[in-house]
A = this chain, B = another copy of it.
Amino acid sequence: MPAYTAPTKDIQFLLHDVLKVSASEVPGFADLDADTTGAILDEAGRLATEVLAPLNPVGDREGCRLENGVVYTPTGFKAAFEAMKEGGWNGLDLPEEFGGQGLPYLMGTAVGEIFVSANMAFNMYQGLTHGAIGAILAHASDELKATYLPKMVSLDWTGTMNLTEPHCGTDLGLIRTRAEPQGDGSYKITGQKIFISAGDHDLADNIIHLVLAKAPGGGEGTRGISLFIVPKFMVNADGSLGARNGAGPGKIEEKMGIHGNATCVMNFDGATGYLVGELHKGMRNMFTMMNEARLGVGLQGYAVAEAAYQAAVAYARDRLQGRAVTGAENPQGPADPLIVHPDIRRSLMDQKSFVEGARALTYWGAELIDRAHRTGDAKAEGMISLLTPVIKGFQTDRGFDMAVQAQQVFGGHGYIEEQGMSQFARDARIAMIYEGANGVQALDLVGRKLAQDGGKHVMAFFDMVKGFLKDNADHEGLQQGFLDPLKKASKDLQAAAMYFMQNGMKNPNAALAGSTDFLHLFGHTCLGLMWAKMARASFDALAAGSPDEDFHRTKIATGRYYMARQLPATGMHLARIESGAEPVMALDAAAF
């Protein structure tokens, strides 16, 4: 069973050496001194290592079950959820007004990573609640907020998001769930939703479903959609729970992974619902939550890969097989450990350099969200809007690949369930699909975000890279292996954007045929920038006489690996993009 230790040192490095949070002008960041964040991370790490990680294989093995309309979570989940509640973890970055601690979203992200690495399926019960709270905070009336938020922040109640229906996922304009006004301000909601994570369970007293439905008079397509709160149990005026509402699980899906989370078919049979925000503006209201939700899924991509990587390193150090080609390194033993073999190193370095780069990108994204929310900075809002599909799509594609690579280190032992490596691959797989399948992320990036606000956000990104290169042109350390690859990647990215601009207007397929490649090209460039920034921070720390010399030298070497071995992918993606729509669209649909 894989053990997990929170990478607190790496997280602290990002918060304090790279993002320099306590020197930030963003309100609330100044409180995040190294001692405070260290104490929070240690506490989260303890819960993750001692409680959540040991339950990860249990959840996978047992799954959830539906009996007589009641969903039961795996053994131990209820006690762990109580521990999560008692720690106040859900409220860490939520408003004090509703019982939270009001820390930055960035801090919630760092803690979230630790919980996801330890037990992704379990953490979704809390994660979805957090997302539902965000939507209510942003759009619901004060009365609804007062009724629902305190109990949700405390995790006495959990939340869900109900979008998908059997015949539509991406194309929500097709939804059939209806909302009929009742004259008393409430609505009757009728329809079926599928793939509802944490749709029902035995961890909380009540479940607050956020449901997209069509109310009369809204017109066709997505314009007719509104957002409703539909509680599992009605809430009385005094806050106590009343009758069961007409909303419940019809089935639990058998899935490839995340077995510990109950993925439900939800039936709404004239269930009482309450409008959140304006009528017929439901899509917009859901979309304001999208950046955070998608960043959270992008986080899952690397967080599961981190857990898998830790297990792969332990196995590679322990398992004796073959001899180093340069001469025995464990001559007393029957064989050398796997970690001496160059191809195993290659695999571990792929994993390590991806995970640390993706962590940096995710935290930067979280910082941009804080900056946008806390200071109203439109540039930060534009930048995170641009980066969101990259963080979600690139990190979950690559995160899955890395979980598969970690599994591969185990050879045959990686394929049997006993070792836990299969679970990492199976769990990581969902992150490429939900919260907008990665093809939809690529479409969002190329079809919408690239040209948003006249393309000024992508220009800001290029300027940022250019600025970094200029500021560090004379930096001897960065000259070795960082600056040139970053410049080349950024040039490839610009060439691709240029290709879309020149060809996309007359033939939109020319851009869309290259959308997934562009997403990956952008992702690699982002990670190249992150590694250059991390290397700079480590060089600075070494120059300042940091006692942690090994840590910083390892950081720089890991960065050099990413630049040398991963950034060459940008040229391939550019070549594919520049081959255009013709090869992609050449065949009739019947010819497949």
- Interface, chain A (partner B; CB < 8 A): 164, 167-171, 174, 194-195, 253-257, 263, 313, 316-317, 320-322, 325-326, 334-335, 337, 339-349, 352, 400, 404, 407-408, 411-412, 414-418, 422, 425-426, 429-430, 432-434, 437-439, 442-443, 447, 481, 507-509, 512-513, 515-516, 550, 554, 557-558, 560-561, 564-565, 568-569, 571-572, 575-576, 579, 581, 583-587, 589, 591-592
Contacts and interface: CB of A to CB of B under 8 A. Distances in A.
B584 A554 contact: no
12 contacts: A168-B321, A170-B321, A174-B320, A194-B412, A343-B516, A345-B513, A345-B585, A349-B587, A408-B433, A557-B591, A565-B583, A569-B572
Which of A263, A313, A340, A584 counts the most chain B CB atoms within 10 A? A584
Given A343-B439, A565-B584, 16 more contacts: A168-B321, A170-B322, A254-B416, A256-B422, A341-B512, A342-B513, A343-B443, A345-B584, A349-B584, A400-B404, A412-B433, A412-B437, A414-B433, A415-B429, A568-B576, A571-B575
A426 B414 CA distance: 12
Given A348-B592, A429-B425, A585-B342, A321 B509 contact: no
Contacts of A432: 408
Nearest to A167: B320
Contacts of A422: 255-256
Nearest to A509: B342
Contact of A586 (B344, B550, B560, B571): B560
B565 A568 contact: no
Contact of A408 (B334, B348, B439, B571): B439
A509 B346 CA distance: 11
Contact of A195 (B253, B344, B412, B592): B412
A220 to B, nearest CB: 10
B561 A586 contact: yes
Contacts of A349: 583-584, 587
Contacts of A342: 509, 512-513, 515, 581, 584-585
A557 B592 CA distance: 11
A203 B102 CA distance: 64
The 10 A-B pairs of least Cβ separation, nearest first, read: A568-B575, A342-B512, A256-B422, A564-B579, A557-B586, A254-B417, A342-B513, A561-B583, A325-B508, A343-B439
A304 B415 CA distance: 17
A257 B414 CA distance: 12
Contacts of A430: 415
Given A169-B411, A325-B447, A422-B256, A584 B346 contact: yes
Contacts of A425: 256, 429
B313 A592 contact: yes
Contacts of A417: 253-256
B592 A352 contact: yes
A433 B447 CA distance: 39
Contacts of A447: 325
Contacts of A400: 404
Contact of A565 (B254, B344, B579): B579
Contacts of A257: 415
B513 A591 contact: no
Nearest to A174: B334
Contacts of A583: 349, 481, 557, 560-561, 564-565
Nearest to A346: B584
Nearest to A581: B342
Contacts of A407: 429
A263 B417 CA distance: 12
A439 B432 CA distance: 26
A376 to B, nearest CB: 34
Given A508-B326, A592-B313, A513 B576 contact: no
